[in-house]
Amino acid sequence: MTSDIEANKGASVDAAAALAATRHAPRESALARAFVAAFYEHAPPADIAARSAEDLCGGALALWRFGVRRNPGDARVRVYNPAEAHDGWSSPHTIVEIVNDDMPFLVDSATAAINERGGVVRLVIHPVIAVARDDEGNLLGLDPKDGGLRESWMQIEITREPDAAERSAVVDALVGVLADVRAAVTDWPKMRGVLAEICSGLAATESARRLGCCARRATAPSVACAIWRRCRPTCATSFVTASC
């Protein structure tokens, strides 16, 4: 059963998506409408229901325009104070926007970087959207039939930062931490393979050590025979006695 706040959120997002369609040429209106709907699909209802359609539309389209061109492997990052005249919407908060390949640890890493610079995160909207892009990185569509490229589209509201230099420093910090995340995720299979080889080597070394210890302690023929039966063919045949 849909609660009142969820119903209000649905109505607000539908109105915002319809408004987005009217602000674009016919060939782009369907894409704009679909993006607004996808962007807010999993956003917390309490943070969405009370906002106007104009505000929701403006916020989503600002991110869409920012990420409309991106090459795979690149992370697009900006931190700004949106103004109606320039950005098509406004907010009492500073806005962090990130468009990146989808991978683990993005939200936690981004929020940690923001917190380290003294920012306080108020809201995170983070849909993962399958997209189609051309060879130049231009956005062609959403949810392509071939699966497309899964991308992380993130819009984070933080405490307002009036200083442009500090906003630029936040961008630099985020670019650095996202590069670290990409390196860790890319290197993880290789690191796992290396660790597996190390563990295998350590296990073999430990087995050989234990085998040598057992052999040195074997004094009675029956004990030596038991060791051989358990450890063969690794154990040297010199430990086999006539009682075997």
Give the model confidence (pLDDT) of 159-207 as tens digits: 999 999 999 999 999 999 999 999 988 887 787 788 888 888 887 776 6
Give DSSP secondary structure letters for 139-168.
EEEES-TT--EEEEEEEEEES----HHHHH
- Reported for 35-38, long-range contacts at CB under 8 A and 24+ positions apart, including other chains, are 35/60, 35/61, 35/64, 35/129, 35/142, 36/60, 36/61, 36/64, 37/13, 38/127, 38/129, 38/142
pLDDT recorded at residue 29: 93
Q: E strands of the chain, at which residues?
A: 76-80, 94-101, 121-125, 128-133, 139-142, 149-158
Q: Judge whether residue 84 has pLDDT over 90.
A: yes
pLDDT recorded at residue 203: 76
Q: Judge whether residue 16 has pLDDT over 50.
A: yes
Give the model confidence (pLDDT) of 107-157 as tens digits: 999 999 999 999 999 999 999 999 999 999 999 999 998 889 999 999 999
Q: Which residues pair with 156 in a beta bridge?
A: 96, 124
Of 18-22, 54-58, 73-77, 237-241, the least confident? 237-241
